[in-house]
Amino acid sequence: MVGRPLRVVFAGTPDFAVPCLEACRASGAEVVAVYTQPDRPAGRGRKLAASPVKAAALAAGLPVEQPESFKAEADRARLASYAPDLMVVVAYGLILPRKVLAIPRLGCWNVHASLLPRWRGAAPIQRAILAGDAESGVDLMQMEAGLDTGPVLIERRTPIAHDETGGSLHDRLSALGADALAEGLRRTLAGENLVPRPQSDQGVEYAHKLDKAEAKLDFARPAIALERKVRAFDPWPVAEADVAGEHLRIWAARAVDGVPGAEPGHVIAASRDGIDIACAEGALRLIAVQRAGGRRISAADYLNARPELKQAAS
């Protein structure tokens, strides 16, 4: 840029977005304001809590804006008053209307945690694991009015490991997203016009928001599908299952060979290696569980409290 630095407004809310905010600050661009969701009740006391992005912005001495939406003209005028060249949006939690997308001179960029057009929407990280995808990644996208439909500017790809959890993939994609954003800003600051690549209209999938009702494991399904759910729902909302009459949260599990003819949901083996539950196909070996009101423990420790499971499985 000639004459003045690139003026950037950053919009984001959760932990995932914080590395991208730091990438903006380190790029040489001027972060003139940070937008984030209004403070929400959190914790057992349900006290209002700042978002991770707000906390990072305040620590850096950046102005923070928290409108409920951009429906009001006053909120759009406030954004325009910052005279942004670019707005960077990362897991903000609001769909931006056309009038907002048109305010920055260079439009709005979005860092999205999937390989578009697969997994547009709210929960792309978990949906990729649930579906058994072999790889994921992040796309730096030029925003349009549609939901994650804009052309891709920069892409980063990464394999999904066999033991990947929602938490581990979240952390890797957060770092990859910051890396892609940093490259986009560096090239733009150097005077380059990034070439957008339109998304294919084939292979579109929508990553619907996670619902706690999905957390219940149904042993009438194949074991591999349940293993993926356990991994995808770590650390939230955490898979749940009824095991020999007790409701447990399931933190770690893997699909193993089953016993032909075993009724789904029955304990077919129990040892220090884990507790095997018969499924429609194969068995799910529970490795780490949590009892009501308790903490996460190994299946071996759980069996110490319920030794009768060993006899039931023998």
Residue stretches of the annotated binding site for (6S)-5,6,7,8-tetrahydrofolate:
114-117
Burial of 259 (0-12, 13-18, 19+ CB in 10 A): middle
Q: Which residues pair with 40 in a beta bridge?
A: 49
Contacts from 97-101 at CB under 8 Å and sequence distance 24+? Answer: 97/70, 97/71, 97/145, 98/145, 99/70, 100/70, 100/76, 101/143, 101/144, 101/145
Annotated binding-site positions? 114-117
Which amino acid, one-letter code, is at 48? Answer: L
* C-alpha torsion sign, points 293, 299, 303, 304: negative
Closest CA to 271 of 217, 226, 307: 307
Q: What is the DSSP string of 243-287?
A: ETTEEEEEEEEEEE---TTPPTT-EEEEETTEEEEE-SBSEEEEE
Count CB-CB contacts under 10 A for residue 243.
Answer: 21
First to last CA, the chain: 73
Phi, psi of 58 (to 5 degrees): -65, -40
Longest dimension (CA), the chain: 78
- Rounded distance, CA 34 to CA 56, Å? 10
- In the block, residue with structure tokens 């349940």: 226
- Rounded distance, CA 38 to CA 48, Å? 9
Coil, strand or helix at 176: helix
